Each structure stands twice: as C-alpha cells, then as structure tokens.
Amino acid sequence: MSINETVLKTLGEAKGPLKAGEIAELAGIDKKEVDKALKALKKEGKIDSPKRCYYGLSE
C-alpha cells in the first residue's frame, strides 16, 4: 500500500480531522512522508483542510 493510500485509510477511520503528526503516529510512518502525501492528496482534491493544520476526507 502506498503512503497516499495509507494516509487516506487513516483519515477514513478517524472520527474527525487530524493533524499531520497524528496521522503519522496512527499510521506508523514518518511525518515528512505524511506531509508530502497530504500535499499531493489536497492537490488531487481527495482531502480538504477544514481548519488550519487539520485534514479530513473531501465529501
């Protein structure tokens, strides 16, 4: 599973928006990798940021 898929899966299982550090901790991957994945996923429109530094799945 790619890091992007792991981030999407983690966000999908979360009860609300998460910070990058929380995603990294829950998924067991490096925060720098999570940051790269979040940037790519946001550009693709798969996730959004309901408030600064928090991320969730796009509806």
Is 3 within 8 Å of 37 (Cβ atoms)? yes
Helix (H) or strand (E) holding 10: helix 3-13
Task: Give all domains of the chain, ordered by start, each with its CATH number.
Answer: 3-54 (1.10.10)
- Answering whether pTM is above 0.75, one says yes
pLDDT in tens, 14-53: 999 999 999 999 999 999 999 999 999 999 999 999 999 9
pLDDT of residue 1: 85
1-17 residue pLDDT tens? 899 999 999 999 999 99
Task: Report the helix count and the strand count for the chain, using DSSP H and E.
Answer: 3, 2
